[in-house]
Amino acid sequence: MTFEQMKIFLEAAHYGSFTHAAEKLGLTQSAVSISIKKLEEKHGVMLFDRSGRRLVLTEAGQVLLSEAERILRDVELTIRRVESRRSPADRYPIVACTQNAYDQWIPELIARIGGESAMPKVDLLRGSADEVSAWVMRGTADVGVTETMPSHPQFRHLGVFADRIILCAAPERASGISSALSWGDLAEHGPLLWEQSDLTPVILAALASHRVSLRGIAHPRLRLTSTMAVLTALRSGRFIGLVPERAAATALASATLSRVGRLEVPLRYWMFALREREIEPFASLVARAAGEATRAAAGVGAD
Protein backbone atom coordinates (compact mmCIF):
# COMPACT_ATOMS: atom_id res chain seq x y z
CA MET A 1 0.00 0.00 0.00
CA THR A 2 1.46 3.34 -1.05
CA PHE A 3 1.09 6.69 0.70
CA GLU A 4 -0.88 7.91 -2.33
CA GLN A 5 -3.36 5.04 -1.92
CA MET A 6 -3.68 5.80 1.78
CA LYS A 7 -4.41 9.46 1.08
CA ILE A 8 -7.05 8.53 -1.50
CA PHE A 9 -8.66 6.07 0.92
CA LEU A 10 -8.69 8.64 3.74
CA GLU A 11 -10.38 11.30 1.61
CA ALA A 12 -13.00 8.81 0.40
CA ALA A 13 -13.64 7.71 3.99
CA HIS A 14 -13.89 11.28 5.29
CA TYR A 15 -16.21 12.49 2.52
CA GLY A 16 -18.21 9.27 2.07
CA SER A 17 -17.95 9.85 -1.67
CA PHE A 18 -15.48 9.00 -4.42
CA THR A 19 -16.59 12.10 -6.32
CA HIS A 20 -15.91 14.51 -3.46
CA ALA A 21 -12.62 12.78 -2.67
CA ALA A 22 -11.57 13.18 -6.30
CA GLU A 23 -12.41 16.90 -6.24
CA LYS A 24 -10.39 17.35 -3.05
CA LEU A 25 -7.37 15.52 -4.47
CA GLY A 26 -7.52 16.93 -7.99
CA LEU A 27 -8.11 13.48 -9.50
CA THR A 28 -10.84 11.96 -11.61
CA GLN A 29 -13.63 9.99 -9.94
CA SER A 30 -12.58 6.88 -11.85
CA ALA A 31 -8.98 7.20 -10.61
CA VAL A 32 -10.18 7.25 -7.00
CA SER A 33 -12.53 4.33 -7.59
CA ILE A 34 -9.81 2.26 -9.27
CA SER A 35 -7.32 2.99 -6.47
CA ILE A 36 -9.78 1.78 -3.82
CA LYS A 37 -10.71 -1.27 -5.90
CA LYS A 38 -7.05 -2.26 -6.24
CA LEU A 39 -6.60 -2.02 -2.47
CA GLU A 40 -9.63 -4.22 -1.86
CA GLU A 41 -8.53 -6.80 -4.44
CA LYS A 42 -4.94 -6.93 -3.17
CA HIS A 43 -5.95 -7.55 0.44
CA GLY A 44 -9.11 -9.55 -0.21
CA VAL A 45 -11.43 -7.32 1.82
CA MET A 46 -14.19 -4.81 1.17
CA LEU A 47 -13.30 -1.41 2.59
CA PHE A 48 -16.59 0.31 1.78
CA ASP A 49 -20.23 -0.72 1.69
CA ARG A 50 -21.48 0.80 -1.56
CA SER A 51 -25.14 -0.26 -1.25
CA GLY A 52 -26.46 3.11 -0.02
CA ARG A 53 -26.28 6.66 -1.30
CA ARG A 54 -23.10 7.28 0.71
CA LEU A 55 -20.02 5.16 1.10
CA VAL A 56 -19.98 3.47 4.50
CA LEU A 57 -16.84 1.96 5.97
CA THR A 58 -16.87 -1.76 6.63
CA GLU A 59 -15.19 -3.21 9.72
CA ALA A 60 -11.98 -3.67 7.70
CA GLY A 61 -12.32 -0.09 6.47
CA GLN A 62 -12.58 1.19 10.03
CA VAL A 63 -9.36 -0.62 10.94
CA LEU A 64 -7.56 0.83 7.94
CA LEU A 65 -8.90 4.33 8.64
CA SER A 66 -7.47 4.32 12.16
CA GLU A 67 -4.08 3.00 11.07
CA ALA A 68 -3.81 5.17 7.95
CA GLU A 69 -4.54 8.32 9.96
CA ARG A 70 -1.84 7.35 12.46
CA ILE A 71 0.74 6.52 9.79
CA LEU A 72 0.20 9.69 7.78
CA ARG A 73 0.27 11.80 10.92
CA ASP A 74 3.57 10.21 11.94
CA VAL A 75 4.98 10.98 8.49
CA GLU A 76 3.84 14.60 8.79
CA LEU A 77 5.42 14.89 12.23
CA THR A 78 8.66 13.37 10.98
CA ILE A 79 8.79 15.95 8.18
CA ARG A 80 8.23 18.74 10.71
CA ARG A 81 10.99 17.27 12.85
CA VAL A 82 13.42 17.21 9.93
CA GLU A 83 12.51 20.77 8.92
CA SER A 84 13.14 21.97 12.48
CA ARG A 85 16.78 20.92 12.02
CA ARG A 86 17.54 22.81 8.80
CA SER A 87 20.54 24.51 10.39
CA PRO A 88 21.81 25.20 13.93
CA ALA A 89 20.83 28.85 13.56
CA ASP A 90 17.25 27.99 12.57
CA ARG A 91 16.76 25.12 15.03
CA TYR A 92 13.62 25.30 17.19
CA PRO A 93 11.99 22.91 19.68
CA ILE A 94 8.85 20.90 19.02
CA VAL A 95 6.57 20.78 22.07
CA ALA A 96 3.86 18.11 22.23
CA CYS A 97 0.88 18.77 24.52
CA THR A 98 -2.22 16.96 25.63
CA GLN A 99 -5.56 18.41 24.60
CA ASN A 100 -6.20 20.53 27.70
CA ALA A 101 -2.62 21.77 27.90
CA TYR A 102 -2.84 22.81 24.24
CA ASP A 103 -6.33 24.33 24.39
CA GLN A 104 -6.14 26.06 27.77
CA TRP A 105 -2.51 26.79 28.59
CA ILE A 106 0.47 26.49 26.29
CA PRO A 107 -0.41 28.96 23.49
CA GLU A 108 -1.01 31.75 26.03
CA LEU A 109 2.15 30.89 27.93
CA ILE A 110 4.23 30.89 24.74
CA ALA A 111 2.71 34.26 23.83
CA ARG A 112 3.61 35.65 27.27
CA ILE A 113 7.26 34.63 27.01
CA GLY A 114 7.63 35.00 23.25
CA GLY A 115 9.23 38.41 23.59
CA GLU A 116 12.07 37.19 25.79
CA SER A 117 15.41 36.73 24.06
CA ALA A 118 15.83 33.31 25.69
CA MET A 119 12.67 32.02 24.05
CA PRO A 120 13.21 30.41 20.62
CA LYS A 121 10.62 29.65 17.99
CA VAL A 122 8.36 26.80 19.15
CA ASP A 123 6.28 24.34 17.12
CA LEU A 124 3.27 22.98 19.04
CA LEU A 125 1.67 19.57 18.56
CA ARG A 126 -1.51 18.26 20.15
CA GLY A 127 -2.23 14.61 20.96
CA SER A 128 -3.28 12.18 23.65
CA ALA A 129 -1.03 11.56 26.66
CA ASP A 130 0.13 8.28 25.10
CA GLU A 131 0.89 9.99 21.80
CA VAL A 132 2.81 12.79 23.52
CA SER A 133 4.95 10.27 25.42
CA ALA A 134 5.59 8.26 22.24
CA TRP A 135 6.58 11.36 20.28
CA VAL A 136 9.05 12.44 22.95
CA MET A 137 10.45 8.91 23.26
CA ARG A 138 10.99 8.64 19.49
CA GLY A 139 12.42 12.14 19.20
CA THR A 140 9.52 13.41 17.09
CA ALA A 141 8.99 16.04 19.80
CA ASP A 142 11.67 17.55 22.03
CA VAL A 143 9.41 18.22 25.01
CA GLY A 144 6.07 16.90 26.25
CA VAL A 145 3.43 18.44 28.53
CA THR A 146 0.82 16.16 30.12
CA GLU A 147 -1.49 15.96 33.14
CA THR A 148 0.07 12.74 34.42
CA MET A 149 3.60 12.41 35.74
CA PRO A 150 5.72 10.45 33.23
CA SER A 151 6.91 7.18 34.73
CA HIS A 152 9.37 5.97 32.09
CA PRO A 153 12.96 5.93 33.41
CA GLN A 154 14.20 7.51 30.16
CA PHE A 155 12.31 10.73 30.95
CA ARG A 156 13.23 13.61 33.22
CA HIS A 157 10.25 15.69 34.32
CA LEU A 158 9.35 18.90 36.14
CA GLY A 159 6.03 20.27 37.39
CA VAL A 160 5.35 23.51 35.51
CA PHE A 161 1.83 24.69 36.36
CA ALA A 162 -1.37 23.59 38.06
CA ASP A 163 -5.13 23.78 37.72
CA ARG A 164 -7.93 22.09 39.60
CA ILE A 165 -10.90 20.01 38.52
CA ILE A 166 -14.20 21.24 39.92
CA LEU A 167 -17.86 20.26 39.75
CA CYS A 168 -20.02 22.43 37.49
CA ALA A 169 -23.59 22.47 36.23
CA ALA A 170 -26.11 24.80 34.65
CA PRO A 171 -27.35 27.31 37.29
CA GLU A 172 -30.80 25.73 37.58
CA ARG A 173 -29.24 22.29 38.15
CA ALA A 174 -26.62 23.60 40.57
CA SER A 175 -29.19 25.47 42.67
CA GLY A 176 -30.77 22.21 43.78
CA ILE A 177 -27.53 20.78 45.21
CA SER A 178 -26.23 21.58 48.68
CA SER A 179 -23.05 23.63 48.90
CA ALA A 180 -21.95 21.11 51.55
CA LEU A 181 -21.87 18.31 48.96
CA SER A 182 -19.44 15.56 49.97
CA TRP A 183 -17.71 12.89 47.93
CA GLY A 184 -20.08 10.34 49.39
CA ASP A 185 -23.06 12.32 48.07
CA LEU A 186 -22.00 12.21 44.43
CA ALA A 187 -23.92 9.03 43.58
CA GLU A 188 -27.17 10.78 44.53
CA HIS A 189 -26.58 13.35 41.80
CA GLY A 190 -25.15 11.09 39.11
CA PRO A 191 -24.41 10.25 36.47
CA LEU A 192 -21.52 12.68 36.16
CA LEU A 193 -19.78 13.77 32.99
CA TRP A 194 -16.06 14.27 32.53
CA GLU A 195 -13.55 14.12 29.72
CA GLN A 196 -13.07 10.43 28.94
CA SER A 197 -9.51 10.90 27.83
CA ASP A 198 -6.37 12.29 29.46
CA LEU A 199 -8.22 13.50 32.58
CA THR A 200 -9.72 10.08 33.29
CA PRO A 201 -6.74 8.67 35.27
CA VAL A 202 -6.64 11.81 37.45
CA ILE A 203 -10.38 11.73 38.14
CA LEU A 204 -10.53 7.97 38.77
CA ALA A 205 -7.62 8.23 41.21
CA ALA A 206 -9.43 11.01 43.10
CA LEU A 207 -12.67 9.02 43.26
CA ALA A 208 -10.80 5.94 44.47
CA SER A 209 -8.95 7.93 47.14
CA HIS A 210 -12.32 9.06 48.52
CA ARG A 211 -13.75 5.53 48.22
CA VAL A 212 -16.36 6.57 45.69
CA SER A 213 -17.69 3.69 43.58
CA LEU A 214 -18.05 4.29 39.86
CA ARG A 215 -21.45 2.64 39.96
CA GLY A 216 -23.99 5.40 39.44
CA ILE A 217 -21.22 7.97 38.91
CA ALA A 218 -20.03 7.51 35.33
CA HIS A 219 -22.57 8.02 32.57
CA PRO A 220 -23.26 4.61 30.99
CA ARG A 221 -23.81 5.92 27.45
CA LEU A 222 -22.51 9.45 27.03
CA ARG A 223 -18.73 9.28 26.68
CA LEU A 224 -17.23 12.63 25.73
CA THR A 225 -13.58 12.89 24.77
CA SER A 226 -13.00 16.62 25.20
CA THR A 227 -13.57 19.11 27.99
CA MET A 228 -15.29 21.48 25.54
CA ALA A 229 -17.84 18.76 24.75
CA VAL A 230 -18.47 18.24 28.47
CA LEU A 231 -19.03 21.97 29.01
CA THR A 232 -21.49 22.02 26.12
CA ALA A 233 -23.42 19.05 27.54
CA LEU A 234 -23.56 20.63 31.00
CA ARG A 235 -25.38 23.64 29.59
CA SER A 236 -28.36 21.37 28.89
CA GLY A 237 -29.10 21.44 32.63
CA ARG A 238 -29.39 17.65 32.88
CA PHE A 239 -26.00 16.77 34.34
CA ILE A 240 -23.25 17.86 36.67
CA GLY A 241 -19.68 17.35 35.55
CA LEU A 242 -16.03 17.46 36.52
CA VAL A 243 -14.07 19.98 34.45
CA PRO A 244 -10.79 21.91 34.78
CA GLU A 245 -11.47 25.29 36.36
CA ARG A 246 -9.47 27.14 33.72
CA ALA A 247 -11.56 25.60 30.93
CA ALA A 248 -14.79 26.53 32.73
CA ALA A 249 -13.69 30.08 33.62
CA THR A 250 -15.56 31.85 30.83
CA ALA A 251 -18.79 29.93 31.45
CA LEU A 252 -18.54 30.58 35.19
CA ALA A 253 -17.87 34.29 34.70
CA SER A 254 -20.88 34.64 32.38
CA ALA A 255 -23.09 32.57 34.73
CA THR A 256 -23.75 30.07 31.94
CA LEU A 257 -22.50 27.46 34.41
CA SER A 258 -22.19 27.48 38.18
CA ARG A 259 -19.81 25.72 40.49
CA VAL A 260 -21.35 22.88 42.50
CA GLY A 261 -20.14 22.54 46.10
CA ARG A 262 -16.49 22.94 47.00
CA LEU A 263 -15.09 19.55 45.97
CA GLU A 264 -11.97 19.75 43.83
CA VAL A 265 -9.22 17.59 42.40
CA PRO A 266 -5.68 18.99 42.04
CA LEU A 267 -4.55 18.92 38.41
CA ARG A 268 -0.84 19.33 37.83
CA TYR A 269 0.88 19.60 34.47
CA TRP A 270 4.30 18.09 33.89
CA MET A 271 6.96 18.95 31.36
CA PHE A 272 9.28 16.13 30.36
CA ALA A 273 11.96 15.14 27.88
CA LEU A 274 14.57 12.46 27.35
CA ARG A 275 17.17 12.51 30.11
CA GLU A 276 19.93 13.86 27.88
CA ARG A 277 17.93 17.01 27.11
CA GLU A 278 18.15 20.06 29.33
CA ILE A 279 14.62 21.35 29.97
CA GLU A 280 15.12 23.42 33.12
CA PRO A 281 15.50 26.84 31.41
CA PHE A 282 12.43 26.29 29.21
CA ALA A 283 10.41 24.85 32.11
CA SER A 284 11.31 27.88 34.23
CA LEU A 285 10.06 30.27 31.53
CA VAL A 286 6.80 28.33 31.16
CA ALA A 287 6.24 28.13 34.93
CA ARG A 288 6.79 31.87 35.31
CA ALA A 289 4.39 32.63 32.45
CA ALA A 290 1.80 30.30 34.01
CA GLY A 291 2.05 32.22 37.27
CA GLU A 292 1.46 35.48 35.42
CA ALA A 293 -1.51 34.00 33.55
CA THR A 294 -3.06 32.68 36.76
CA ARG A 295 -2.67 36.03 38.52
CA ALA A 296 -4.14 37.85 35.53
CA ALA A 297 -7.14 35.51 35.48
CA ALA A 298 -7.66 35.98 39.22
CA GLY A 299 -7.58 39.74 38.74
CA VAL A 300 -10.26 39.57 36.06
CA GLY A 301 -12.37 37.33 38.28
CA ALA A 302 -12.02 39.75 41.17
CA ASP A 303 -13.41 42.57 39.02
SS3 at position 181: coil
Given CATH 3.40.190.290, say whether it is the number of domain 88-303: yes
Q: Are residues 147 and 105 in contact, defined by beta-carbon separation less than 8 angstroms?
A: no
* pLDDT tier for residue 115 given thresholds of 50, 70 and 90: low
pLDDT at residue number 112: 87
pLDDT at residue number 119: 53
CA–CA separation, 208 and 199 (whole Å): 14
Q: Are residues 177 and 262 in contact, defined by beta-carbon separation less than 8 angstroms?
A: no
User: What is the DSSP code (8-state) at residue 224?
Assistant: B
The average pLDDT across 241-268 equals 96
Summary mean pLDDT of the chain: 89
CA–CA separation, 39 and 51 (whole Å): 19
pTM metric for this prediction: 0.73
The structural domains of the chain, with segments of one domain joined by +, span: 3-79, 88-303
DSSP codes joined into one string, 141-169: -SEEEESS----TTEEEEEEEEEEEEEEE
In 170-255, at which residue ranges do the beta strands (DSSP E only) sit? 192-194, 240-244
* pLDDT digit string, tens, across residues 117-172: 555 578 899 999 999 999 999 888 999 999 999 989 999 999 999 999 999 999 99
The average pLDDT across 229-253 equals 95
pLDDT at residue number 303: 47
Q: Are residues 92 and 122 in contact, defined by beta-carbon separation less than 8 angstroms?
A: yes
26 Rama class: left (phi>0) / alpha (psi -120 to 50) / beta? left
Q: Are residues 145 and 97 in contact, defined by beta-carbon separation less than 8 angstroms?
A: yes
CATH class of the domain defined by 3-79: mainly alpha
Q: In what order do the strands lie in the sheet with 240-244?
A: 123-126, 94-97, 143-146, 258-274, 155-169, 240-244, 192-194
Q: Is the pLDDT of residue 116 over 60?
A: no
